[in-house]
Amino acid sequence: MTPAARRYIFLVAGAGFLAFYLWGLAGLPGFGRYPGPYGTVINGIAVAQTKATGVVSAINFSYRGFDTVGEEFVLFAAATGMSIVLRHLRGERERPALDEAMDRTAPATSEAVRMAALLLAGPTVVIGWYLASHAQTSPSGGFQGGVVLATAFILIYLAGQFLVFERVSPIAITDATEAVGAAGFVCTGLGAVPLGLPYLSNVLPLGTTPGAVDSSGTIALISFFVGVEVAAAFVLIVGELLEQALLVRQEGR
Amino acid sequence: MTPHVAAVTTPYTVPAALMDTLQVTVLVLVAAGATAVVLTRQPVRQVVMLSAYGLLLAMLFMVFQAPDVTLSELTVGAVVLPILLLLALAKVRRREE
């Protein structure tokens, strides 16, 4: 194909795209105008129905809880796939990564970085725990809390070294924790089935005060399990990648 | 069912004009940030720019009143994604040496 023909095809396709794009833009509701009824309905009934003032969490873990199960397993499958792709192959030997230049040692982590990472690790755990356990009261939730918890492990790696990272998060335990989190979500949903209710029905006592920590029934419980699953999945993914970056694998003979 | 939720004035209500200014400012900053990420050609610096861009996006979601999305973007976009990219870059660099 000649460059001229190529340009011609681009111009025709580009003009077509632009026309449809502008047509679509013209049909959009005005900025900040929400046309659908769904959000307004949810805003009206969610707090009374679920006793959760974190309405986004109520939607995520109750109204559309089944969608969230699917999303949960996207991350689960990603972490599992990573463990499988990066597994030890037969005949592969590992040697610790040495600095390739023989006449110098690897630069040590600066004291400032280690100190900052150590100081941040504790508060990070607290914030992650708070986020994962307060989905029912305020903007937060298991996903955000889980990622923050995983960040604490990364800080520990920054403050120490890879060996410490492996010691605080052995792959077998991280794997098991991830599975427990995912299974906890699924089983909380299954808990409603023997009572003759649809999957993921909110069967636990809702509490009386909207926005109290012990309110909202299964919403808080599912958020907790999601937090466990997400934290373990991210620790697993980062751990596998750290191993890949820091250890060198060779073909054995 | 009323079509719109009635506006409630609280001690924390921000004047609409100020909110508009904030939203426009952050939108412009996000556009500038995205351009800066694309124009940064050195991979390690690009990852750092991407992390800063994640922070900008988190601010965008905040001023558009989506605090849950803000938290997700803050943790994933500004922290975890850059870490994964940095690890990948470290691996590639080691192989090249």
Predicted pLDDT of residue B14: 81
**10-residue block means of pLDDT along chain A (253 residues)?**
91 97 92 84 88 88 90 91 81 60 63 89 93 87 91 85 68 87 90 86 81 82 92 89 71 49
Above 0.90 for ipTM, yes or no? Answer: no
B5 lies in some domain: no
| Cα angle, residue A150 at apex, residues B43 and A168 outer, rounded to 5° | 110
* Separation of alpha carbons A190 and A143, rounded Å: 21
In a domain? residue B7? no
DSSP A33-54: ----SHHHHHHHHHHHHH--S-
- What is the number of alpha carbons within 13 Å of residue A206 lying toward its C-beta? 16
Closest chain A residue by Cα to residue B84: A238
Q: Tell me whether residue B87 is in a domain.
A: yes
Task: For chain B, give the mean pLDDT.
Answer: 86
Task: Decide if B2 is inside a domain.
Answer: no
Contacts of B97 (CB under 8 A, 6+ apart): A100
**Model pLDDT, residue A102:** 54
Rounded Cα–Cα distance for residues A247 and A239 (Å): 12
The domain segmentation of chain A, as residue ranges, is 36-250
Please report the residues numbered 59 through 88 in chain B whose beta carbons come closer than 8 angstroms to any beta carbon of chain A.
67-68, 70-72, 74-76, 79-80, 83-84, 87-88
pLDDT (tens digit, 9 = 90+) per residue, B52-87? 999 999 999 999 888 999 999 998 998 889 998 988
Q: Note which residues in 87-116 of chain A have CB less than 8 A from chain B.
A: 97, 100
Which residue of chain A comes nearest to B88, CA vs CA?
A245
The answer to whether the beta carbons of residues A93 and A243 sit under 8 Å apart is no
Contacts of A113 (CB under 8 A, 6+ apart): A158, A159
DSSP codes, A69-114 = HHHHHHHHHHHHHHHHHTSPPTTEEEEEPPPSSTTSPPPPPPHHHH
Which residue of B5, B74, B83 is in closest CB contact with A43?
Answer: B5
Q: Which residues of A touch B87 (CB under 8 A)?
A: 238, 241-242, 244-245
Residue A28 carries which side chain, given as an amino acid letter?
L
Name the pTM for this structure: 0.82
Q: Which residues of B touch A234 (CB under 8 A)?
A: 80
Q: Is B4 domain-assigned?
A: no
Q: Which chain B residues touch A44 with a CB distance below 8 Å?
A: 1
Write the pLDDT tens digit of every residue in A57-94: 889 888 998 999 999 999 999 998 988 888 777 667 66
User: Which chain A residue has its CA at the smallest distance from B73's CA?
Assistant: A144
Chain A within 8 Å of B24 (Cβ-Cβ)? no
- By residue range, what is the domain housing residue B52? 16-96
User: Which of B4, B23, B27, B68 is the best residue to mutate to test the A interface, defined by the most A CB atoms within 10 Å of its own CB?
Assistant: B68
Structure tokens at A230: 């997400």
Domains identified in chain B, total number: 1
A242 and B72: CB-CB below 8 Å?
A: no
Cβ contacts of A150 on chain B, cutoff 8 Å: 80
CA distance B38 to chain A (A): 22
Pairs across A and B, CB distance < 8 A? 61
Instruction: Give me the pLDDT at residue B51, please.
Output: 94
Is the Cβ of A209 closer than 8 Å to some Cβ of chain B? no
Query: Are B84 and A241 in contact (CB < 8 Å)?
Result: yes
